[in-house]
Structure 1
Amino acid sequence: MNHHHQRSSRTIDIDTRLLRAGAVITAAGAVVASIGMALGAVAVFAAGRRMIRTMDVPPAQQAAAKWHQAKEASRAGVQAWHDSASHAHDGSLAN
């Protein structure tokens, strides 16, 4: 008994007009969203530039001063450590 089963060919019937309209609206939304993000970025950068212009000390100068302070503090700490270590070897450290 040789039974041949016929397969029915099923196809999906897509309304291409709706598909195209959806693609166009999605693309338009992406363009509008990109423009909105660009406008927001311009506003944030402009506000940042205005804030930096009104500062008494520019950020680069502040950073340089803080770096100098950190280096001096590090040197002072190393010097104090060396001084305490040399006093400990001399026996001049109080117990």
Structure 2
Amino acid sequence: MSVPDTLPRDRTGGVVAVWVAALVVALSIGIFVEPDWRGAWLSVGLGVCVILSFAVQLVHGRSQGFIVRVAASVLGAMVVMGLIGAGFALAELFAA
């Protein structure tokens, strides 16, 4: 016999947390890594965000919608990191 949830948990908190982590990772890579290596490190940072999204959703403890939440986390992290990476690439292009 399963016990029903007393209060429904907020499902968007974990997704947004991964997006914020992607923002922090992308900004730190853009600031501290040399321009020649930014693309490689951004892909490593996205891999970290994928692992983080799995961990956050597993800690969340609900199986309903797990794949959708992980996909939303990873897709949002990819968009955030892509936009920030494009911004740093354009800044590097016009700074030279």
**What TM-score, normalized to structure 1?**
0.34
Higher-helix-fraction structure: 2
**What TM-score, normalized to structure 2?**
0.34
- Pick 1 or 2: higher relative contact order, CA cutoff 8 A, min separation 6: 2
